């Protein structure tokens, strides 16, 4: 009996120790990635990164056209996807709550949430790029917008559902139509939660590369024309990192550092907002 108990205790200690090691391994990986990013990307971080356009191999330059393109397409994508996502979430949580259609839509949305983003790129290629006849920034923004929709639907619905129904009933009791209840009571009450959802969506699309490869393509030069190919950080990183040129590789690391810092800060910010306002746990995915 005693021997048996000792063996069971040893098993427990070893197994739980291993779980601690697994956690250390996970944390070490994150640390290793961040360390590599800083040690290789920080040295290239200078003013010229933000003032000059992407260089030819061997000459000096910066990333400003790529940064500009990324900002424009990300914001456009957000402008396309976030309102649609919040409206769809409004249907799921308010008008269609409990009916079969909203169950189906919720399920499909969860599947789209995890669908490969490169497939979205192919979809926008056949839908927009082939019709326009050339690659364009607007096609890139549309594919990012499509990725925003399921992310926003998911978080926004969770947040809208947290609003107690007594508030809706109080509003209805004053004679307000549902739309007035939604826009004047539910949305303001869920404001921080909705903001969290949009921030998480922004974080998600900031680093997306695959859907931009054959929609926005890339551009060696400065371009503000939405109907033309536009440079963007992820695709520039991809192109520069896989090139044999040292200065291109160095710029790729700097770009990767910029994107990662931006995304991590956004994710932490989203978390802080949701915990500060007590909007509940917002989950990754």
Q: Can you tell me which of 177, 184, 225, 227 binds another protein, judged by CB under 8 A?
A: 177
Euclidean distance between CA atoms 161 and 165, whole angstroms: 9
Q: Does 8 bind another protein (CB under 8 A)?
A: yes
Euclidean distance between CA atoms 88 and 152, whole angstroms: 9
Output 51 or 134, the one with its CB closest to another protein: 134
Q: Which of residues 124-153 bind another protein (CB under 8 A)?
A: 125-127, 146, 149-150, 153
Q: Which of residues 245-284 bind another protein (CB under 8 A)?
A: 252-253, 256, 259-260, 263-264, 266-268, 271, 283-284
Q: Which of residues 42-71 bind another protein (CB under 8 A)?
A: none
Output 75 or 101, the one with its CB closest to another protein: 101
Euclidean distance between CA atoms 202 and 221, whole angstroms: 25
Q: Which of residues 88-127 bind another protein (CB under 8 A)?
A: 88, 90-92, 94-96, 101-102, 104-105, 107-112, 114-120, 122-123, 125-127
Euclidean distance between CA atoms 204 and 151, whole angstroms: 8
Output 43 or 51, the one with its CB closest to another protein: 43
Instruction: Write down the least CB distance from residue 46 to another protein, Å.
Output: 20
Q: Can you tell me which of 52, 53, 209, 220 binds another protein, judged by CB under 8 A?
A: 209
């Amino acid at each position: 009996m005693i021997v048996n108990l000792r063996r069971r205790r040893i098993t427990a200690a070893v197994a739980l120790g291993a779980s601690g090691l697994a956690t250390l391994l996970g944390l070490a990986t994150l640390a290793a990635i961040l360390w590599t990013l800083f040690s290789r990307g920080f040295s290239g971080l200078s003013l010229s990164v933000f003032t000059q356009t992407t260089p030819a191999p061997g000459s000096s330059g910066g990333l400003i056209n790529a940064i500009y393109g990324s900002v424009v397409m990300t914001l456009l994508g957000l402008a396309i996807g976030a309102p649609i996502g919040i409206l769809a979430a409004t249907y799921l949580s308010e008008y269609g709550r409990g009916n079969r259609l909203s169950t189906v839509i919720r399920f499909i949305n969860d599947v789209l949430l995890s669908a490969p983003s490169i497939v979205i790129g192919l979809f926008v290629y056949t839908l927009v790029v082939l019709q326009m006849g050339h690659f364009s920034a607007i096609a890139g923004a549309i594919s990012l917008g499509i990725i925003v929709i399921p992310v926003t639907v998911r978080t926004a619905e969770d947040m809208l559902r947290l609003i107690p129904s007594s508030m809706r009933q109080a509003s209805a009791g004053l004679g307000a139509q549902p739309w007035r209840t939604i826009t004047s009571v539910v949305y303001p009450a869920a404001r921080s939660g909705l903001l969290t959802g949009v921030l998480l969506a922004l974080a998600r699309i900031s680093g997306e590369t695959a859907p931009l490869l054959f929609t926005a393509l890339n551009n060696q030069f400065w371009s503000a024309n939405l109907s033309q190919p536009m440079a963007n950080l992820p695709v520039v990183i991809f192109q520069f990192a896989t090139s044999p040129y040292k200065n291109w590789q160095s710029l790729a690391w700097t770009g990767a550092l910029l994107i990662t810092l931006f995304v991590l800060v956004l994710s932490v910010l989203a978390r802080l907002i949701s915990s500060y306002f007590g909007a509940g746990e917002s989950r990754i995915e």
